[in-house]
Amino acid sequence: QIKDSATSTRDVLEQHFSDLKGTLKKLLDERLMSLLQEVDVIEQESIKPLDECQKLIEHGVSTADDLLREGESAVDGDVGQQNEKLCNFTKKALHIQLDSLPEVPSLVDVPCLSAQLDDCLLTILKNQIFRHGTVASRPPVQLEEFVEKPGGILVRWCKVDEDFTAQDYRLQLRKSPGSPFEDVYVGSEPEFLVLHIDPHVDYQFRVCARGDGRQEWSPWSVPQSGRTSLVPHEWTAGLEGYSLSSRRNIALRNDSQSCGVLYSKAPTYFCGQTLTFRQVLFEIETVGQPDRRDSLGVCVEQRSGDESLQRDKAVCISTNGAVFVNGKEMTNQLPAVTSGSTVTFDMEVVQLGPCSNEGGNFKLRVTISSNNREVVFDWVLDQCCGSLYFGCSFSYPGWKVLVF
């Protein structure tokens, strides 16, 4: 681990500083080109009026020179030609203004370009560069525990640096060693349930943290592998009154008039697990009044023809919060199930008397939680039951149920 992490750290540092060099060179080249363009623009704008002034002066001098030669020619000719040439020379001289020149700017008004380069940039860069980057021998957080869930893994982590105050955590996973890590969670909780995990497949996880008031993330924890052997919870496809998502973990009560109980595809709930139903109203204006037969729960077996889970060999909670055990309503009641509610079922085995495959007294201690309240009771069965089905029944369309 030490050699591998050291090699990886060297590679990261070399790549990072190589990228910095390339970026800095690109930025310096861009700045140089920008400054050179400024010089070109100032030069062109400043020299243009001076060039025009020079052309006017040269034109005036040339005209005066031509006129002077013409005058000399008129003086040097014979008397007949002199009069004509002098007359033409006089007319021409009257029409040429040689006593005016364009205004020439004073020397102080003429630009004189120079470059101001502050050496303090090198000092600032030097100080920043020598403070850039750190090497940590121990990340402040490490992965602590992987808990198998149906189709998921509950990942927990902990601080190993007591002086580090974490503001946020960042959890990543990858499915194979050659693939890149991907974010699955960013938040303040020290655990996260990662769903949509294929059973019997090793996933690599790593976590880092951001200190209180800081923007940068800490070094990553040591990557660790986690897996689940539990197949994901799925609803049974094909029941007329319900539409399922592609993963079959979400059921939507549709507009069909058909009523009945939607069961899980298999008895995938095992005692000792936590089964969670999350209720979401799909379209609240089309739900209508909840029916007293509406319910969520677990049962020993699937039965066709039932309109509700409020029957024998089943425990459930109705949408109004009533709890039913083997079809009988308990005196204890939970809050009504509404939009955004979460209902959880926890069970542990409490065996009474001998138990075999042929039957016997069997007791499960059941805890049902909803909206920060819970009820606990013993569910007595006449047979051993290591795994259970889950199910739901709704009379009106619009209910949407996610199970995990």
pLDDT at 359: 47
Tell me what the mean pLDDT of segment 247-251 comes to: 89
Higher pLDDT, 259 or 242: 242
| pLDDT digit string, tens, across residues 61-112 | 787 787 777 777 767 766 566 667 677 777 776 667 656 666 666 767 777 8
What Å distances lie between residue 56 and 42, 49, 103, 111, CA to CA?
22, 11, 10, 21
| Residues present in the chain in total | 404
pLDDT at 281: 32
Tell me what the mean pLDDT of segment 257-276 comes to: 82
Asked if 150 and 231 touch (Cβ cutoff 8 Å), the reply is yes
pLDDT at 214: 82
DSSP labels for 183-196? EEEEES-SEEEEES
Paired with 99 in beta bridges are none
pLDDT at 285: 31
The architecture (CATH level 2) of 242-403 comes to Sandwich (2.60)
- Of the pLDDT bands very low, low, confident and very high (cuts 50, 70, 90), residue 244 is very high
DSSP 218: P
Q: Is 86 exposed, middle or buried (0-12, 13-18, 19+ CB in 10 A)?
A: middle
> For 291, how many CA atoms within 13 A lie in the half-sphere containing its CB?
19
Domain with CATH 2.60.120.920 in the chain: 242-403
pLDDT at 206: 95
pLDDT at 386: 75
Instruction: Catalogue the E-assigned strands of 300-386.
Output: 314-318, 322-325, 328-333, 342-351, 362-370, 373-381
What Å distances lie between residue 37 and 46, 114, 152, CA to CA?
14, 14, 59
Q: How far apart are CA 224 and CA 276, in angstroms?
A: 27
Structure tokens at 90: 């006089």
Total-model pTM: 0.60
pLDDT at 33: 94
Q: Which of 65-69, 158-162, 274-278 shows the lowest mean pLDDT across its residues?
A: 274-278
Residue 279 has pLDDT above 60, yes or no: no
Tell me what the mean pLDDT of segment 152-157 comes to: 94
Instruction: Catalogue the E-assigned strands of 103-202.
Output: 141-149, 152-159, 166-174, 182-187, 191-195
Domain with CATH 2.60.40.10 in the chain: 141-228
DSSP labels for 176-230? STTSPPEEEEEES-SEEEEESPPTT--EEEEEEEEETT--SPPPPPPPEEE---S
3-state secondary structure (DSSP) of residue 296 = strand
Q: Which of 93-107, 244-258, 289-303 shows the lowest mean pLDDT across its residues?
A: 93-107
Residue with tokens 């008129």: 74
Q: Which of 1-10, 26-35, 246-255 shows the lowest mean pLDDT across its residues?
A: 1-10
Within 10 angstroms of residue 282's Cβ, the number of other Cβ atoms is: 16
Q: How far apart are CA 49 and CA 55, in angstroms?
A: 10
Residue 211 has pLDDT above 90, yes or no: no
pLDDT at 354: 54
pLDDT at 284: 28
Residues 6+ apart with CB under 8 A from 196: 151, 152, 232, 247
Tell me what the mean pLDDT of segment 336-357 comes to: 75
Structure tokens at 209: 């943290």
Instruction: Select the highest-mean-pLDDT range: 17-21, 54-58, 386-390.
Output: 17-21
Within 10 angstroms of residue 223's Cβ, the number of other Cβ atoms is: 15
Residues 6+ apart with CB under 8 A from 336: 290, 319, 320, 321
DSSP 235: B
pLDDT at 102: 61
User: In degrees rounded to 5, what are phi and psi of residue 251?
Assistant: -120, 135
Asked if 211 and 185 touch (Cβ cutoff 8 Å), the reply is no
Higher pLDDT, 279 or 69: 69
Instruction: Select the highest-mean-pLDDT range: 186-190, 334-338, 378-382.
Output: 186-190
Residue type, 133: G
Q: How far apart are CA 84 and CA 73, in angstroms?
A: 11
Comparing CA positions, the residue from 366, 392, 360 lying closest to residue 379 is 366
pLDDT at 275: 65
Superfamily of domain 141-228: Immunoglobulins (2.60.40.10)
Residues 6+ apart with CB under 8 A from 101: 56, 57, 60
Tell me what the mean pLDDT of segment 315-324 comes to: 93
3-state secondary structure (DSSP) of residue 399 = strand
